[in-house]
């Protein structure tokens, strides 16, 4: 088992106004592993995952204390531009959110905003990303069609491909299957397992079966606290905390 | 760094509206204050005679204020029933298909230029009124009221319709469930619920009517005397400014007096707009919409 | 039974209100259309006026209106869009932002003749642009500013937040996100607002009375510092000045026809596009 730690947090507290959304969260995200964050809605798991690419800064009137590291870089340091972090830590959102542009332009967007101009390189990278996201065969003949014409499941894989085109190291999935049907969901899950060879993956999900199927590590959140964190097997078969057990056996949620 | 620069540029440009508004206020005060060193402010507002080109000139704008008040009042009598009635019709009776046609037509009426309304008033309404009431001239307060009223109708209608749309469906359903018919539901539930939204519409309609220039300039008749009936020619404030500014030498008392009229006009519409804003905010809070 | 009777009466009243409102629109279009169309000819559209405004055409007024309107939009479009971008994309809620919002609302309610006086004092006199296309365009531009701001705001708000987040999560900066994602997505809405403003500006008279308009000019304006004829002012002038009221009235009908046709078709297009967009966005 690879013990390399890709990201970690130390004593993270987070506030919306005066409401505390996260309480003293410490977590280790292992490289090339899938880490699932589970918990009832409103428990802070989505807020937490958005700290890894500093997306919470877009919400006004919030405050953060504690440290978050990407490798050994403290990403919340004021000297660090969030844009540089987001290039290395990609995100796939709850609802597929392709740009109202062509399929090709959706994938190449990340490269272009990062200053890539070489057309050949862009073309190659678009193809490679779409292949990696297992959607190439479905779209290769219509790269210039609007991305909005794709089905929901295809759109979500397109959004994953969009992430891959940038030199990303970590991919954050914020309930990526919340709006998808079971078949599309299965495809995304398969893809996640495939991607972990090359990327470190964090996934927020309210679907415990999904967490059990795809993840190597699982963290259970409740009311802004990380109640329990460990190998997925252990969490699901021998939870240490009564609350984890209660949630996993479906007594609340 | 570049990002901060962009933000700064947008912020500076965003202040343009504030700058222009302050600029307008500043210019109006600066250009109108000289007249008050010649005429005291009470005499200016309550003076009964407007003879700006006589010697010695008289700068009493009461006739102009009253003319504006009469014409606006008349316009309200036209545009409130028409505008609110149309809004109720659109909201309550028209089906989706009918509405898809009628609403754009109302908006189209709003886009007819005021000078065309004025022209229409001169060539069509004037001879009509002259005949009906057997008048020496058809260019009267009544004429201006009618034309202005029709002009302000789309404004009133659109805003009132928005207000009616905000009334939650559940209010209506609750009323129907208690055995009320559609008319009772409309008059006793929907209209009271949308009440302050409709008031906003009326206030903004009035504001529009007071500030309207070309129409009253062309059809009100232009006599700067205190009106006694709707069938006399009048000279509302906007018409006085538009008609006389061309002839008033820059820097003369007349010039400053016209700016003073504009200042009063501005303050009146400003107050109306502020009231409308407060009323509409209260309306949104009442219905639980974000302020 | 009585209840039913009252309801029918009430609904009948509402129908009458709706009918009356549209009746006036029809009446105006009918009279101006029927009598104005007779005056319209190729000569009327392309010639300059002759014989004390009683013959010839009104081409300089048409061209002048186009110039002034174009100038006004050139001035207010960048300013208005920038302001809307600041309010929707950059500004955190705050005191100053509220002040800006309030001033936009109030600017929208300022009587048009007051804009005219402001233009006279500032552009014509203070900056010394004189009675000119430039002064008129700037004055009308300020009048159009609130319209452009509010329609641009509406268009920006209709762009889903999720694609802004997607762009930022890919390492785009805020400005790149606005430039490459938000503005292109909002463009149709912004353009609709611009078209509506064009319709409004083209028909305004009071703001150009003292800042740009001339009753008669021998030819076309030479520069932005020239006085200019304009359709709306021309209608007013034909009806209130000059020495041949009867023969001028025919020309006024023609001008009204052209102005009404221009404004209604411009606004009509914008209204239809906007309605389609609103249906698309739900």
Model confidence at B290, pLDDT cuts 50, 70, 90, reads low
Residues sharing a CB contact under 8 Å with residue C279, sequence separation 6 or more, in sequence order: none
Residue B248 in 3-state DSSP? Answer: coil
B:187-206 residues touching chain C, CB 8 A cutoff: 187, 204
**B116–C114 CB contact, under 8 Å:** no
Closest C-alpha among A65, A38, A67, A73 to residue A253 = A38
pTM for the predicted model, two decimal places: 0.88
CA distances from A130 to A102, A103, A179, B138 (A): 14, 10, 21, 76
- Is the torsion defined by CA of B33, B38, B43, B49 positive or negative? negative
Question: How many Å apart are CA C197 and CA C189, to the nearest integer?
Answer: 13
Per the CB < 8 A criterion, the answer to whether C104 and B17 are in contact is yes
Tokens matching residue A237: 């078969």
Residue C226 in 3-state DSSP? Answer: coil
Question: Residue written as tokens 């309200």?
Answer: B76
Taking all residues of chain B, what is their mean pLDDT, rounded to a whole number?
Answer: 90
CA distance B266 to chain C (A): 6
Tokens matching residue B61: 């704008």
CA distance C50 to chain B (A): 22
Give the pairing type, strands A225-231 and B50-51: unpaired
B185 pLDDT more than 70? yes
Q: What is the pLDDT of residue C279?
A: 72
**A53–C169 CB contact, under 8 Å:** yes
Question: How many Å apart are CA A43 and CA A125, to the nearest integer?
Answer: 38
Considering only CB atoms, which chain A residues are within 8 Å of C169?
53, 55, 86, 90-91, 93, 163
**C106–B117 CB contact, under 8 Å:** no
A2 pLDDT more than 80? no
Closest C-alpha among C139, C130, C132, C157 to residue C226 = C132
User: B257-282, pLDDT tens digit by residue?
Assistant: 999 999 999 999 999 989 988 888 88
The one-character DSSP state at A102 is: B
Considering only CB atoms, which chain C residues are within 8 Å of A162?
166, 170
A1 pLDDT more than 60? no
CA distance A182 to chain C (A): 23
Closest C-alpha among B17, B13, A59, A56 to residue C92 = A59
B23 pLDDT more than 80? yes
Closest C-alpha among A250, C268, C152 to residue B103 = C268
**C160–A159 CB contact, under 8 Å:** no
CA distances from B189 to B263, C7, C9 (A): 41, 15, 18
Mean local confidence (pLDDT), B51-67? 90
Instruction: Tell me the percentage of chain B whose pLDDT exceeds 70.
Output: 99
Closest C-alpha among C146, C141, C145, C158 to residue C88 = C158
Mean local confidence (pLDDT), A175-181? 91
Cis ω for the linkage preceding B97 (within 30 of 0): no
**C264–B117 CB contact, under 8 Å:** no
Q: What is the pLDDT of residue A122?
A: 95
- Report the complex ipTM: 0.91
Residue C167 touches partner A, C-beta closer than 8 Å: yes
Tokens matching residue B75: 């316009």
Task: Based on DSSP, count helices (H) and strands (E) in chain A, helices before strands.
Answer: 10, 10
Residues sharing a CB contact under 8 Å with residue C36, sequence separation 6 or more, in sequence order: C253, C254, C256, C257, C258, C260
DSSP C97-162: HHHHHHHHHHHHHS-HHHHHHHHIIIIIIIS---SSHHHHHHHHHHHHHHHHHHHHHHHHHTS-HH
Q: Where are the beta strands (DSSP E) in chain A?
A: 5-16, 19-30, 34-38, 62-70, 73-74, 89-92, 170-174, 200-204, 217-222, 225-231
Considering only CB atoms, which chain C residues are within 8 Å of B118?
235-236, 239
Phi, psi of A217 (to 5 degrees): -125, 150
Q: What is the pLDDT of residue C54?
A: 67
The 3-state secondary structure of B7-71, one letter per residue? HHHHHHHHCHHHHHHHHHHHHHHHHHHHHHCCCCHHHHHHCCCEECCCCCCEECCHHHHHHHHHH
CA distance A235 to chain C (A): 31
Closest C-alpha among B191, B156, B89 to residue C11 = B89
Q: What is the pLDDT of residue C31?
A: 92
Model confidence at A179, pLDDT cuts 50, 70, 90, reads confident
Q: Average pLDDT of each block of 10 consecutive residues along chain C (282 residues)?
A: 85 94 93 90 83 76 94 96 93 83 90 95 94 96 95 92 93 93 93 92 93 82 88 91 81 94 93 80 54
Question: How many Å apart are CA B117 and CA B151, to the nearest integer?
Answer: 7
Mean local confidence (pLDDT), B212-216? 93
Question: How many Å apart are CA B87 and CA C223, to the nearest integer?
Answer: 47
Residue B235 in 3-state DSSP? Answer: coil
Question: How many Å apart are CA C88 and CA A94, to the nearest integer?
Answer: 23
Closest C-alpha among C84, C76, C81 to residue C115 = C76
A228 pLDDT more than 80? yes
Q: Give the chains touching C; criterion: ≥3 Cβ pairs < 8 Å.
A: A, B
Per the CB < 8 A criterion, the answer to whether B261 and B210 are in contact is no
User: A104-163, pLDDT tens digit by residue?
Assistant: 999 999 999 988 899 999 999 999 999 999 999 999 999 999 999 999 999 999 999 999
**C120–B16 CB contact, under 8 Å:** no
Model confidence at B118, pLDDT cuts 50, 70, 90, reads very high
Residues sharing a CB contact under 8 Å with residue C19, sequence separation 6 or more, in sequence order: none
Interior angle at CA A210, CA A207 and CA A215, nearest 5: 125
| Burial readout B228-243 (b: 16 or more C-beta within 10 A, e: otherwise) | eebbbbbbbbbbbbbb
Best of B151, B213, B235 to substitute, by most chain C Cβ atoms within 10 angstroms, is B213
């Amino acid at each position: 088992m690879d013990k390399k730690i890709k990201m970690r947090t130390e004593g993270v507290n987070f506030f919306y106004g005066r409401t505390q959304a996260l309480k003293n969260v410490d977590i280790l995200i292992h490289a090339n592993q899938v880490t699932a964050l589970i918990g009832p809605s409103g428990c802070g798991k989505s807020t937490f995952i958005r700290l890894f690419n500093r997306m919470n800064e877009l919400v006004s009137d919030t405050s953060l204390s504690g440290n978050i590291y990407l490798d050994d870089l403290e990403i919340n340091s004021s000297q660090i531009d969030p844009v540089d972090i987001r290039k290395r830590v990609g995100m796939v959102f709850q609802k597929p959110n392709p740009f109202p542009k062509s399929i090709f332009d959706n994938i190449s967007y990340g490269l272009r905003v990062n200053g890539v101009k070489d057309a050949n390189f862009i073309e190659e990278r678009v193809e490679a990303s779409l292949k990696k996201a297992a959607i190439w065969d479905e779209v290769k003949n219509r790269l210039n069609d609007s991305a909005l014409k794709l089905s929901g499941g295809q759109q979500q894989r397109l959004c994953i491909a969009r992430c891959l085109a940038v030199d990303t190291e970590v991919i954050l999935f914020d309930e990526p299957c919340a709006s998808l049907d079971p078949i599309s969901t299965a495809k995304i899950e398969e893809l996640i397992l495939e991607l972990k060879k090359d990327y470190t993956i964090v996934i927020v999900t309210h679907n415990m079966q999904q967490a059990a199927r795809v993840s190597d590590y699982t963290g259970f959140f409740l009311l802004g606290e990380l109640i329990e964190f460990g190998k997925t097997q252990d969490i699901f078969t021998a939870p240490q905390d009564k609350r984890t057990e209660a949630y996993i056996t479906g007594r609340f949620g | 760094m570049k990002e901060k620069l962009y933000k700064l540029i947008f912020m500076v440009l965003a202040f343009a509206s504030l700058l222009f508004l302050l600029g307008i206020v500043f210019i109006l005060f600066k250009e109108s204050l000289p007249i008050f060193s010649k005429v005291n402010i009470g005499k200016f507002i309550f003076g009964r005679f407007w003879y700006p080109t006589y010697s010695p000139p008289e700068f009493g704008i009461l006739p102009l204020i009253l003319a504006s008040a009469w014409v606006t009042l008349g316009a309200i009598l036209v545009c409130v029933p028409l505008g609110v009635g149309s809004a109720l019709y659109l909201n309550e009776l028209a089906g989706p298909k009918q509405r898809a046609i009628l609403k754009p037509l109302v908006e189209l009426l709003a886009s007819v230029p005021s000078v065309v309304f004025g022209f229409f008033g001169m060539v069509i309404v004037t001879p009509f009124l002259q005949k009906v009431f057997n008048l020496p001239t058809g260019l009267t307060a009544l004429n201006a009221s009618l034309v202005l009223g029709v002009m302000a109708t789309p404004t009133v209608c659109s805003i009132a319709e928005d207000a009616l749309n905000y009334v939650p469906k559940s209010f209506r359903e609750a009323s129907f469930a208690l055995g009320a018919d559609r008319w009772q539901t409309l008059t006793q539930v929907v209209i009271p619920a949308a009440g302050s939204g409709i008031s906003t519409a009326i206030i903004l309609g009035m504001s529009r009517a007071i500030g309207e220039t070309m129409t009253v300039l062309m059809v009100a008749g232009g006599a700067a005397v205190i009106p006694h009936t709707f069938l006399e020619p009048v000279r509302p404030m906007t018409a006085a400014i538009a008609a006389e500014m061309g002839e008033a030498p820059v820097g003369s008392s007349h010039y400053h007096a016209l700016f003073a009229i504009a200042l009063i006009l501005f303050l009146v519409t400003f107050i109306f707009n502020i009231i409308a804003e407060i009323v509409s905010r209260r309306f949104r809070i009442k219905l639980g919409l974000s302020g | 039974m009585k209840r039913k009777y009252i309801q029918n009466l009430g609904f009948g009243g509402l129908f009458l209100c709706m009918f009356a409102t549209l009746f006036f629109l029809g009446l105006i279009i009918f009279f101006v259309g029927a009598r104005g169309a007779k005056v319209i000819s190729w000569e009327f559209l392309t010639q300059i006026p002759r014989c004390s405004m009683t013959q010839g055409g009104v081409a300089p007024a048409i061209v002048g209106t186009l110039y002034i309107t174009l100038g006004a939009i050139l001035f207010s479009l960048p300013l208005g869009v920038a302001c809307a971008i600041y309010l929707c994309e950059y500004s955190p809620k705050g005191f100053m932002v509220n002040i800006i919002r309030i001033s936009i609302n109030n600017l929208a309610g300022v009587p048009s003749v007051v804009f005219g006086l402001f233009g006279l004092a500032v552009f014509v006199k203070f900056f010394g642009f004189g009675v000119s296309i430039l002064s008129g365009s700037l004055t009308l531009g300020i009048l159009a500013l609130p319209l452009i701001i509010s329609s641009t705001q509406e268009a920006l708000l209709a762009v889903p937040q999720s694609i802004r987040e997607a762009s930022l999560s890919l390492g785009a900066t805020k400005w790149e996100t606005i430039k490459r994602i938000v503005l292109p997505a909002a463009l149709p809405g912004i353009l609709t607002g611009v078209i509506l403003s064009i319709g409004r500006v083209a028909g305004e008279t009071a703001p150009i009375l003292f800042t740009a308009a001339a009753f008669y000019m021998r030819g076309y304006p030479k520069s932005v510092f020239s006085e200019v004829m304009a359709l709306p002012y021309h209608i007013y002038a034909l009806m209130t000045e000059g020495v041949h009221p009867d023969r001028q009235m025919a020309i006024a009908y023609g001008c009204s026809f052209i102005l009404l046709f221009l404004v209604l078709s411009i606004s009509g297009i914008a209204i239809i596009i906007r309605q389609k967009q609103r249906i698309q966005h739900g």
